[in-house]
């Protein structure tokens, strides 16, 4: 081994000094380079993991929000259909009420017209009786003026009027 050391010119003191230098440089690099770098890498790894977890939570919330949105849309559609059905029902009721009101008013008008016709008819019958009575009186006056005295003439007129009252003209 001595020969090997002499051939390669290996000096133990130099090797020990180099090992000490290596340990010092490695220690300095470890404390000032590798250690802070490892700390930064751990922090970054933690941030990435937190980001992934947050993304998963956000994904779940997004899916839940989509479900809620669909439920609200369906609920809104259902309410809209209910409102339309209610409006149609109210429209039908209003139309039926107006139709019934119109029928009632038409019945009133027809009834009033019938009453007016009856009243007019009675009035016409009275007018006809009155005119007929006057015509009978004129005719009987002309016929009886020459042959009947005033008492018989008056009795004849009263008999005709009584007869007209008893027989009601119907039409």
Question: For residue 171, is pLDDT > 50?
Answer: no
Q: Does 136 reside within a domain?
A: yes
124 lies in some domain: yes
Reply yes or no on whether the pLDDT at 162 is more than 90.
no
Determine phi and psi for 97, rounding to 5 degrees. -65, -45
pLDDT at 10 over 80: no
Q: How confident is the model at residue 72 (pLDDT cuts 50, 70, 90)?
A: very high
Q: What angle do CA 155, 158, 162 make, to 5 degrees?
A: 135
Domain assignment of residue 137, given as a range: 2-166
Q: Write down the mean pLDDT value for the chain.
A: 86
pLDDT in tens, 75-133: 999 999 999 999 999 999 999 999 999 999 999 999 999 999 999 988 988 888 888 77
pLDDT for 89: 94
Domain-embedded: residue 135: yes
- What pLDDT score was predicted for residue 126? 85
Q: Cα(126)–Cα(47) distance, rounded to whole angstroms?
A: 115
Work out how many domains the chain is built from and give that number: 1
Asked whether residue 171 is domain-assigned, the answer is no
């Amino acid at each position: 081994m001595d020969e090997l050391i002499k051939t390669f010119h290996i000096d133990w003191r130099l090797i020990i000094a180099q090992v000490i230098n290596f340990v010092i440089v490695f220690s300095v690099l470890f404390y000032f380079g590798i250690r802070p770098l490892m700390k930064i890498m751990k922090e970054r790894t933690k941030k990435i993991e937190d980001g992934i977890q947050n993304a998963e939570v956000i994904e779940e919330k997004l899916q839940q929000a989509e479900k809620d949105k669909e439920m609200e849309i369906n609920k809104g559609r259902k309410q809209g259909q209910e409102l339309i059905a209610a409006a149609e029902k109210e429209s039908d009721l209003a139309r039926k009420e107006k139709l019934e009101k119109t029928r009632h008013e038409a019945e009133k008008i027809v009834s009033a017209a019938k009453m007016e016709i009856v009243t007019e008819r009675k009035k016409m019958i009275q007018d006809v009786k009155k005119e007929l009575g006057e015509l009978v009186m004129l005719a009987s006056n002309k016929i009886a003026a020459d042959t009947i005295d005033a008492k018989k003439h008056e009795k004849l007129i009263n008999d005709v009027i009584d007869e007209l009252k008893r027989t009601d003209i119907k039409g």
